[in-house]
Structure 1
Amino acid sequence: MSCPQNLDAAAMRGRLAALLMEKSYRAGEITLTSGRKSDYYFDCKQTALHPEGAWLIGNLLFDLLPADIVGVGGMTLGADPLVTAVSVASFLRHRPMPAFIVRKASKGHGTNQFLEGLSNFQPGDKVALLEDVVTTGGTLVTVIDRVQDAGLTIGAVVTVLDRNEGGSQRLAERGFPLLSIFTREALVAAAKEQPAS
C-alpha cells in the first residue's frame, strides 16, 4: 500500500481496523491473562510492530489525547510500541511528547526505579497511560499506582481495544474514564466496511 499520510481520521480508523483483523484478531476459545475464557484473542503487538500499523495507531491514539497531556507511557511489553508510535506522531504533528515505560519489576540496581524515561518529565506533569487491550483493568491499576508514586499526574487512560469486560468500569471507579479507538463490536464493524485489498 502507498504512504497513508493523506488519510483523514475516519479512513485511518478503517484501515487500522482492517489491519487489526488481519494481524491481531483470532477467533477461538482462549484463556486471557485475567484467567477469564474468551471466544477470541487479540494480540495488538502484531499490528503495532507493523510499519503502517504503528503509524495508524500512533496518530489515532494521539487524536484521543486531551490538550493538556504532555507525555505518554504504559506497562512493558504491550505498551512499548504504542508509546513510541505516539511520541513519534506527536513530534511530526508539532506537539512533541516524551514517552516512558513502566517496568513489571523494579530495576533491582542503580535507582531501583519502575519507570524508564522519567528524566524527560517534571514532577506533576500530566500524562496519558496507553494500553493495547483492556479486559479487567488490573494491569492499568498497577500502572496508575506506579506512575502516581513517581510523581506524575494521570490525565487520560487510552487503549486500542476495550473488550467491554469490566475494565472501563474499574478504571472509572478510580476516577479515570477509559478512551478507546475500538470496542470489539466497533472493530469488527469497521473492518467489514473496508474494501477488499
Structure 2
Amino acid sequence: MTSEDVLNEFRAVGALREGHFVLSSGLHSPVFLQKNLVFMDGARCERLCRALAHKITAAIGPVDVAISPAVGGIIPGYETARHLGVPSMYVEREGGTFKLRRGFQIEPGQKVVMVEDIVTTGLSSRECIAAIQAAGGEVVAAACIVDRSGGRADVGVPLIALATLDVPAYAANALPPELAALPVEDPGSRRLGKQA
C-alpha cells in the first residue's frame, strides 16, 4: 500500500481536511487527518492495519506484543496486533504519565512494537515508549498509519510508517498570514479536560 493509497482511504470518508487546525501537539496546521472517520469502518481499518502489519514484519521480523497509547492508538494498535498474530495492549495516563494498567504485563525479553495512529512531533510515541521500557519491555520499533512529519519525528526507535507526509505545523506565535486569517478548529481531544 502506497502513501497515496493510504491518503485515498482518508479522502474516501472526508477524513483529509484542509483549513486551520490545532493539533494534539498544540501546533497549528492547514491539514488535519480525522482518523476516527477511517477507523470506524471495519473494512477500511482492517486494510490499513493489515498493510502496516506486513510492513512491520518486513522491516523487523516477528514481534511478541503490540502496545499503543490510549486513546487514539487503541483501535489501530489492536487491529495491527491481530494481523501480527500477537497480543494487543495499551498504556493510558495516570497522574499525567502513561502506564500499563488493567492487568497488562510485559514478560521479560518480549519484543514490543509500539503502534500509533498519526505521528506529528513524536511526543506521545516517546512517552508511550518510555512507559513500555519502564515496564520492562524491549521496544524494537514504533509504527504508525501516517507520519505527518515528513520522516523528521524522532521517537527514539526506528519508525515504520504506512504513509509519510510532509505537512507543515507551526507554533501559535509563528503562523503564516494565510493560515492566521482562517478560523481555527480544535478537533482533537487532548485539551478537552483543560477547557472551561
1:116–1:155 distance in 2 versus 1, CA, 3 Å: farther
Backbone CA RMSD of aligned residues = 2.3
User: What are the Cα deviations for residues 104-161 of structure 1, in whole angstroms up to 9, with x where unaligned?
Assistant: 226xxxxxx5344634x41221110111111111111110110001111101101111
Q: Give the TM-score normalised by structure 2.
A: 0.72
Q: Give the TM-score normalised by structure 1.
A: 0.72
Name the amino acid aligned to 1:118.
F
Q: Secondary structure at the match of 1:147?
A: helix
Give aligned pairs, total: 160
Query: What is the deviation of 1:97?
Result: 0.5
Greater share of residues in helix = 1
Higher relative contact order (CA 8 A, sep 6+): 2
- Identity percentage of aligned residues: 20
Alignment-derived partner of residue 47 in structure 1:
38
- The answer on 1:103 being equivalent to 2:92 is yes
Query: What is the deviation of 1:75?
Result: 0.5
Is the 1:82–1:130 Cα contact (8 Å) retained in structure 2?
yes
1:60–1:85 distance in 2 versus 1, CA, 3 Å: same
5 Å-filtered alignment, 1:6-17, equals 9=1, 16-17=6-7
Structure 2 unaligned runs (5+)? 168-196
Alignment-derived partner of residue 67 in structure 1:
61
Structure 1 unaligned runs (5+)? 1-8, 91-95, 107-112, 187-197
- The answer on 1:157 being equivalent to 2:142 is yes
- CA separation in 2, counterparts of 1:102 and 1:42? 22
Query: What is the deviation of 1:167?
Result: 5.3
5 Å-filtered alignment, 1:1-197, equals 9=1, 16-23=6-13, 24-65=15-56, 66-90=60-84, 96-105=85-94, 114-116=100-102, 118-119=104-105, 121-164=106-149, 168=153, 170-171=154-155, 174=156, 176-184=157-165
Q: Secondary structure at the match of 2:107?
A: coil
Q: Secondary structure at the match of 2:94?
A: coil
